[in-house]
Structure 1
Amino acid sequence: MNAAVPTHLNVPKRLNARRSVIGEHPASFIDFYQEDTNIVIWQRKLNDALQESVARFLTTNTYFKSVMTVTPDSTYEAVIEALGRFDGADVICEDVALLVDMFCCLFELKRAGLRFSVLNQAMCPRFHVDKVPCRLITTYQGVATEWLADKDVDRSKLGAGNLGKVDAESGLYRSSRDIQQLNQGDVALLKGELWVGNENAGLVHRSPAVADKQPRLMLTLDFIS
């Protein structure tokens, strides 16, 4: 039996409330295809070599953004060209290439849209949903993406429905305790509004506030039509 939706939340009726799936292995990603799932999180710890490579890159790249279209076969060379050939760059590139390969394999894509950025402030500070089928997000260093479980959201308060109020005062969620957060290294698949059957059920999320002098290195992957 589905849990009852709290009566104080103005959530449009759907067959199933959306749930999260959290696992310690990328095999959990297959659950993304379940209708009642709108986020799948692979909880992983970055190995020492990858953390050291990321830290080395950030010491000389306070500002960085690269947007490109890649295939599983082209990712390594494309990313190393964007990052520059520093000591340890291959470790980052191999990891990104692995994620692209997994993403394309899971969704039977020939290519993906890749964005790799150093963020010194919140890119999307308001809670929102993405008008995409799916987005992969991972943070290699720094604070990671915040999100709200479907059961904790009053979707009528998204966008103009907030009536100009900040998220914490709009009624979008009941308490700051409802805000969940990915960890550094986690790889998450966020189901968006354009996934078939997921209309009005996209994952509600936002960029976290970035502490002074503690930039984020963030990767996203998207479908390419």
Structure 2
Amino acid sequence: MERVEDNGYLTDYPNGTNAVIGDSPETMTAIYEEQINLVVVQRSLPDEIAHYCQELVDTKPNFNLRLAINPEQAAESLTSLPNLTGHAAFVDDLVLLVDMYSCLFDLDEVGLRLQVLDRAMCPRFHIDRLGCRLVTTYQGPGTEWLRNGDVDRRKLGAGNMGLSDAESGLYSDVTDIQQVNKGDIVLLKGEGWYGNEGLGAVHRSPFITPAEKRVVVTMDFA
């Protein structure tokens, strides 16, 4: 059985479990555990951030920002974001994420991308060939992922033989698909992490309807 420790995350991982889910920032340190390739910090967003994201979608439907940010200058770098209702709260949250991510991996620079999306950018389950990516969905449905024990990695990429994820045998049942919530902080360990070759977190962008928009932030090692 999984056990919740005082530090806020799950331990005693059953066979096939590769994820740690908690509600404390300290949960993020579990990404350094060898058997873990995905960490979720569950959280709720304040109304000010929801208002900001909705106005961003309404006024800047194609917004796409890429920045290489020095963590010590994050606030200054992000004040240029569109000045909409809830701007200060949104910037403060991004600064917090940059600080958490850079401290976790001892980074002098963070590659940040903020996008408004009207479609799934990565609709197929896949792995990233990088160290570890942070993803947070501020508006819309969150990232979908598969536990190690529920995925047949031979069916990733060309191994799907032209079939959809649902048809290829990548997973057995739709109930195997896990999904994070809006606002959750997700760490996805990739194939570029030392010793993690062949064990990158399997994930994809969620399907969204034509009427939906997502506001998504990703952070990478710059």
Query: What's the TM-score once normalised by structure 2's chain length?
Result: 0.90
Q: Which residue of 2 aligns with 1:32?
A: 31
1:120: Cα distance to partner? 0.2
Q: Within 5 Å, which residues of 2 pair with 1:4-83?
A: 17=16, 19-81=18-80, 83=81
Distance 2:203 2:102 in 1: 23
* The 10-residue stretch of structure 1 (68-77 or 124-133) with the greater mean CA deviation from structure 2: 68-77
* 2:93 pairs with one of 92, 95, 104: 95
Q: Which residue of 1 aligns with 2:170?
A: 172
Q: Which residue of 2 aligns with 1:8?
A: none
DSSP-derived class of the 1:78 partner: helix
1:89: Cα distance to partner? 1.2
Native 8 Å contact 1:162 1:170 kept in 2 = yes
1:47: Cα distance to partner? 1.3
CA RMSD in angstroms comes to 1.2
Q: Within 5 Å, which residues of 2 pair with 1:99-114?
A: 99-114=97-112
Native 8 Å contact 1:19 1:38 kept in 2 = yes
1:86: Cα distance to partner? 2.6
Q: Which residue of 1 aligns with 2:118?
A: 120
1:91: Cα distance to partner? 1.2
Native 8 Å contact 1:145 1:206 kept in 2 = yes
Q: Deviations over 1:162-184 (max 9, x none)?
A: 11111110110001110000100
Q: Deviations over 1:119-151 (max 9, x none)?
A: 000000111000011000000000111100000
Distance 2:168 2:200 in 1: 19
Q: Which residue of 1 aligns with 2:134?
A: 136
Native 8 Å contact 1:53 1:89 kept in 2 = yes
Native 8 Å contact 1:18 1:38 kept in 2 = no
The answer for unaligned runs of 5 or more in structure 1 is 1-15
Distance 1:43 1:142 in 2: 15
Structure 1 runs of 4+ aligned residues shifted over 6 Å read: none
Q: Which residue of 2 aligns with 1:3?
A: none
Whichever residue aligns with residue 101 of structure 2, its letter is F
Whichever residue aligns with residue 64 of structure 1, its letter is F
* The 10-residue stretch of structure 1 (101-110 or 68-77) with the greater mean CA deviation from structure 2: 68-77
Q: Which residue of 1 aligns with 2:84?
A: 86
Distance 1:154 1:33 in 2: 24
Q: Deviations over 1:52-80 (max 9, x none)?
A: 22222222111110111001122223223
Whichever residue aligns with residue 36 of structure 1, its letter is Q
Q: Which residue of 2 aligns with 1:195?
A: 193
Distance 1:116 1:195 in 2: 23
DSSP-derived class of the 1:99 partner: helix
Percent sequence identity over matched residues? 47
The answer for unaligned runs of 5 or more in structure 2 is 1-14
Native 8 Å contact 1:17 1:36 kept in 2 = no
- Between Structure 1 and Structure 2, how many residues are aligned? 208
Distance 2:131 2:37 in 1: 11
Q: Which residue of 1 aligns with 2:9?
A: none
Native 8 Å contact 2:48 2:85 kept in 1 = no
Distance 1:148 1:28 in 2: 19
1:18: Cα distance to partner? 5.2
